[in-house]
Amino acid sequence: MPFRTAESRRRFRPGVPARVAGLVAVLVAALTLSGCLKQSDQHTADGRLDVVAGFYPFAYLAEQIGGDHVAVRNLTKPGAEPHDLELTPSQVGAVSKADLAIYEKGLQPAVDAAVAQNKPKAALDTATVVHLEDHGDLGEGDAHSADPHVWLDPVDFAKIADAVSAELQRIDPAHAADFQAKQSALDGELRTLDADYRAGLAHCQRQDIVTSHAAFGYLAERYGLVQVPIAGLSPDDEPSAAHLAKIQDLIKTKGVTTVFFETLASPKTARTLAADTGTKAAVLDPIEGVKDPSKQDYLSIMRDNLAALRSALGCS
Question: What residues line the site for Zn ion (CB under 5 A)?
Answer: 215
Q: What is the largest CA-CA distance in the chain?
A: 84
Question: Least CB distance from residue 217 to Zn ion, whole Å?
Answer: 10
Residue number with CB closer to Zn ion (63 or 237): 237
Residue number with CB closer to Zn ion (215 or 225): 215
The string of DSSP codes covering 42-58 is: --STTS-EEEEESSHHH
Residue number with CB closer to Zn ion (75 or 215): 215
Of 31, 29, 67, the residue nearest 48 (C-alpha): 67
CB 190 within 8 A of CB 211: no
Question: Least CB distance from residue 316 to Zn ion, whole Å?
Answer: 30
Question: Least CB distance from residue 286 to Zn ion, whole Å?
Answer: 5
Of 155, 296, 165, 149, the residue nearest 233 (C-alpha): 149
| Distance separating alpha carbons of residues 301 and 278, to the nearest angstrom | 26
Residue number with CB closer to Zn ion (211 or 277): 211
Question: Least CB distance from residue 132 to Zn ion, whole Å?
Answer: 13
CB 142 within 8 A of CB 232: yes
Question: Least CB distance from residue 251 to Zn ion, whole Å?
Answer: 22
Question: Least CB distance from residue 121 to Zn ion, whole Å?
Answer: 29
Residue, CB closest to Zn ion: 215
Of 70, 46, 300, 299, the residue nearest 179 (C-alpha): 70
Residue number with CB closer to Zn ion (56 or 179): 56
Residue number with CB closer to Zn ion (200 or 229): 229
Helices (H), the chain: 6-10, 18-34, 56-66, 89-97, 109-118, 154-171, 176-200, 217-223, 241-254, 268-277, 298-313
